Structure 1
Amino acid sequence: MSRVLVLSSYGVGAGVGVHYPPVQEFERELARLGAGADVVVHHARSLQAHAGFLKRLSVDPALVYACGSSVMEVAARALDERGGPGVPIVYWGSHIEDCGELVNPRPSAPWISGVEVPMPLYRSHRHFRLLKRLFPNLEQVHCTFSMDSAFIQGARRARYERALSRERGDAWIPSGSELSAFPGLRRLGELIDVAVFEHPCADPERAAQAARAIPPAARRAPEAVRACLISCIDCLHIDGAVEQMARAASESGVPFIGLNFGAFLPQHGPLLSFESDLLGASRLAARIAHDILQRARRPDRGRIASYDRFVLRLHPALAAVWGLRLSDREQAWLLKSFGRTLASIHEETP
């Protein structure tokens, strides 16, 4: 029986590790296809913890399934360093562009295959302008980016490290300024008439302080919101940061919006989560993995597939607190804006 090693860092609440939905969906699809694989799941928030685990393996697995492009890059590097290049890696993840430049290039190694999913919300003005539709008087958008991520490398990382080294510097960097890692966000902001700010997420306390520095709403109502906080799941690599940011935002009266969260923290949201359809991407990744395990596909054939579908997840209890209700007309507008890619508006995940 082939051993498949699953590397996972994401999920919130009880939905982590073997209970992370994209992990469960991958395993179900493999079983449905009759792969007969022995699936072993390694969950760790830290990318370095994954690297250390891989380097300590006594026997290479038949295949590695990596949840996310950051996890994939760490797995590829660690296996190469331990003398295990050529172990097939299958992953789903985003490869984003900023100002026409590819931030994290697609893998070139022939033994890495996977499913590319677009980054929701930031991918186009059609997604980004939804923020103004939900909060008509929005003036500021505050975006956090994990320092432990495939998206923060090279010159981008150097700028963020300079920002973090300032003892009395502002927690928020104006997008497009000298220390900005993603100047393209400024252009998105200009299209909907908001200012965009970035925060390099490196530790939970500083992340919480950054959240508390965001101007709060005068009251919990969509028209009273002047600023919001956005975090991608990559910030989960900084253990405790998302939880502390979400709590601080909730206590201050700032809407917290997630990207690809897939579920909600028990009390603090996010209020909304804009997502790629990671369950569908996981099923496609399982089919690729099955073909590789059955020798029906060489790892270098059709290596990276695209999967361009989206889900908007709404936290029903927090939506009621904020008075955020999506009428039939607004839902129709969402469907029109997202085309056929908006799969559903989900209820709260247990």
Structure 2
Amino acid sequence: MNLEKYLELQNKEFEEFIYDSSKQILLAAETEEDLIDFYRRRGETVKKYKDDGQSFIAVTKNSEVHLFIKDSNRSYRSIFKDFLFDRFGVPKESIKSELNVDHVFNKARAKSYFIRMILLDEKVNKQWGRAYESVITKIENTIMSSKKRLVLLDYSLLLKVIGFDSPKKSQIKNDNDIIQISNAIKKKLDNKYPDNSIEKYSLEVFLRAELNLLKNKKWRNPTYLESKQLEYKLTAQNDTAEIHNIRETFHYLSLVSYEPIVDIFGDEIEIYGAELCNSGQIISRDIKDIIDHILNYLEYATEVLIRFIEKNRKLIEIKITTFKESFRDDDTYSYKFYIR
């Protein structure tokens, strides 16, 4: 395989995220066990690449092959070139200086992690390093006391791997700038990927929240709730499309914090140190198990009532009630999510 063909394969995997953000693409894992467990739970494999235990190859069900290298390993360039030759037959001499071997997730944000390696245009890589990555690293080191065990692809890093310019903090002076920048990025995506199936709403929501984080060191109003979203009431047998939409909504609920505190009291779940954003993935296993249970129960429900409670356009509570045909108390499930 030549270099151009490999770059096509690499970009194709990341571009799929544009159309389906429920696709989980791992960028970094805190430990070897976390890395192996992520792929194993999907029926996929991970094995050591070099004997030093600092590099691992993961093979997906779609035959995609990913290389992860410990952040402290200084030989990552030569290891990645060996990997490209061994697995894809890409000649080492074809990788010119204009292409960087890049930690797709910044090393300074994931110290002591195993990080996914990619090839990236040198100009794009340096521009993201100077702009977005340097700012976000300082913010995280200042306001976040703990880190995720797993890091998945989000819309900001997607822009990096597909070669878009990095947002700059200096460009963001007020809320109107945030809207203009996110709209410009969305327009550029529309031009490059002229397909109506792009998840434009989720992308816009995430980018506006992320840009606000760069400006104010705070993830603000990630849901941008509209009044029509505050309550759903439906009959499952007659509204299968609406059930599907609700299921998709819950798949996209994501905890935007590092290791939130979760307390469960029967049917009430309190989440501290977290906000919900309508894009990305759920990392906390406690939350994911609860959401999965609700989604599974939706299939058997006759009626579902979902109420989003918001204050100042920020989501603070979700109430979910599912009913079966009998409408008996023991066939009724209610859940409350309090977002603190």
TM category (shorter chain) comes to 0.3 to 0.5
TM-score, normalising length from structure 2?
0.33
Q: Looking at both structures, which has the greater relative contact order when contacts are Cα pairs under 8 Å and sequence separation is at least 6?
A: 1
- In terms of fraction of residues, the more helix-rich structure is 2
Flag the structure with larger Rg.
2
